[in-house]
A and B are shown apart, each in its own frame.
Chain A
Amino acid sequence: MNLIDIILVVNLCYRCHNKEIEDILKNSAHRNLDCISCHEGFEKFPHPKKKVRCKICHGEVAKFFERSVHYDKLGCSDCHGKHRITVFEIYTKKLSISDICAGCHTEEGNNYKNSIHYLALKKGANDAPSCVDCHSEHHVLSSETEGSPVYYKNVPKTCAQCHENKAITDKYGISPRRLSSYLSSYHGIFLEKGIPYVANCISCHTPHFILPAEDKRSSIHPDNLPKTCSKCHPKADFSVTKGKIHIEVKPQSAPHVFAVRVFYIIFISILVSGFVIHIIFDFIKFIKNRRSHE
């Protein structure tokens, strides 16, 4: 029997270390692991100065984490806890994620916890996003990095995962087709062409304090809309509330724009058929004349 087996059998670690850790560990996702699975080489005393290396098992995830902004500043245990690594349970996990992030990102955390996304999650709407749904879990990047889901060019795509998803918009009765109606606007076209100063979703809806237009505190409540728009359009006042922002060319959404389209389609059809008929008549006569001359 070698030293490692002895440690495993009689569990020498708890001779010195707090026995509480054993209980915590036994209730964690790592319940089937021993101390030295993570604390490599600690069977020797004095223990080597060696950090726990999660990536021995969690290699895939670690690769993402190593490319994230958090890599220099944080370790795995800062978010996941040391011994208390919980079993993956979506509901509790999703709701508590923001608590973990808010540990450092206080302001963002507060804003998020007042937003409709958090409130919906609290009410059991499990599709509502927590921090990681927009910022990704391990591959968290600055909003100034091109590959980030919150980079200005990617924001609409990120929000569209739910807000352009018919299954979700139908399920919760929220406004559908927010991406397509954005992309057909000047804002959307300019963003697609890589103009950074143009408004994307969060420019108007705010990044974290997202609330429906009915909420008085919302940046898109009619009372607040002039202020929101005037960040870029200094002259904007309450005239911007008279009409929709996400225009869809449909009778219910924008009847006036829809009417223009219908009118023009009919008008163009009549005009074009009139022209074509006239041109064809002229040509038939022209050919007939030529034949009779010959």
Chain B
Amino acid sequence: MSKKILRFSRIWRVQHMLLMISVVLLIISGFSLKYSHTTLGKILIFLEGGFEARGSLHRLSAFLLIFTTLFHLFYIIFTKEGREEFKALVIRKKDLSDFVKMIMYDLGKAKERPQFDRYSYKEKFQYWVISFFILIMIFSGIILMFHNYFFGVIPKWLIDLSFSFHSWTATLVIIFLVLWHFYIVHLSPENFPWNSSFWDGYVDEEWLKENHYLEYKRIKEK
């Protein structure tokens, strides 16, 4: 057995768990509205306990997502650990050159893989894109959820626009999660079939050395 290193704190894992539960529920209940006329949509609506229960489930999980978002904002602003995590997630020039190096390496034009710190450009890209999507979803979703209030406040075309954004961004989120997130944490050679660190927080020392060498070095130097 190789040595294990704690990579993700409990509060980090709790946030991931909340995000995962709320987003999965939102995707299921939202998909079954958008595709309510299809067989899959009908099966999902049945499993959700009917069409109106589907709506309640969607709103309930939306509140969970909003709570998670606020929790995360609190975490990255008011806790030391959160601030450090956030700093590690900021996109830097190195990420662009890492990306270019990675492609060159894949193509056989460079001998060495780029060395990543705590988060590689793949993970950073994922964090920022998902954050941005979630903001769009929350804002457009609030307009849709409280449309009865907003009917007297904003013009009808803005409500239509929110609906359009909500629906298309959701499509994008599903594609993004299925393609990119599943690739990074499940299908990519270094993590196949899955990386269990989201659950217990631990990764193999070897794995860390190989995939996040700079982070590994920093931990060892301490």
Contacts and interface: CB of A to CB of B under 8 A. Distances in A.
Interface in B1-60: 33, 36-37, 45, 51-52
B152 A272 contact: no
Given A239-B151, A272-B175, A279 B103 contact: no
Interface residues on B, range: 35 or more
Nearest to A249: B164
Nearest to B50: A193
Interface in A273-294: 275-276, 278-279, 281-286, 288
B180 A275 contact: yes
A192 interface: yes
Nearest to A288: B108
Interface in A223-259: 229, 233-237, 239-245, 247, 254, 256-257
Interface stretch (B71-79, B165-173, B195-203, B205-213): B165-173
Given A193-B36, A268-B175, A281-B103, A237 B168 contact: no
Contact of B156 (A235, A239, A283): A239
A267 B72 CA distance: 28
Interface of A is mostly: helix
A218 to B, nearest CB: 18
Contacts of B155: 239, 242-243
A195 interface: yes
A233 B171 contact: no
Nearest to A290: B189
Contacts of A174: none
A261 interface: yes
Contacts of B219: none
A235 B106 contact: no
B172 A268 contact: yes
A79 interface: no
Interface residues of A, number: 41
A51 B87 CA distance: 94
A260 interface: yes
A229 B155 CA distance: 13
Nearest to B192: A286
B161 A260 contact: yes
Given A239-B156, A242-B156, A264-B171, A257 B161 contact: yes
A293 B52 CA distance: 57
B106 A281 contact: yes
B145 interface: no
Interface in A194-239: 194-195, 229, 233-237, 239
A195 B51 contact: yes
Contacts of A257: 160-161, 163-164
Nearest to B129: A271
Interface of B is mostly: helix
A16 B156 CA distance: 72
A261 B180 contact: no
Contacts of A241: 156
A33 interface: no
A288 B113 CA distance: 14
A120 interface: no
A235 B51 CA distance: 25
A243 B160 CA distance: 8
A210 to B, nearest CB: 21
A167 interface: no
B175 A240 contact: no
A264 B168 contact: yes
A276 B187 CA distance: 13
A192 B172 contact: no
B161 A239 contact: no
A189 interface: yes
A202 to B, nearest CB: 21
A242 B150 CA distance: 13
Contacts of A192: 36-37
Contacts of A261: 164, 168
Contacts of B147: 233
Interface string B134-178: 000000000000011111111111111101110011011001100
A136 B154 CA distance: 42
Given A195-B52, A264-B168, A281-B107, A236 B161 contact: no
B97 interface: no
B36 A245 contact: no
Given A195-B51, A257-B160, A260-B161, A285 B153 contact: no
A256 B161 contact: yes
Contact of A285 (B105, B151, B158, B168): B105
B70 interface: no
Complex A-B, nearest 3 residue pairs according to Cβ-Cβ distance, in ascending order: A243-B156, A243-B157, A242-B155
Interface of B: 33, 36-37, 45, 51-52, 102-103, 105-108, 147-161, 163-165, 168-169, 171-172, 175-176, 179-180, 183, 187-189
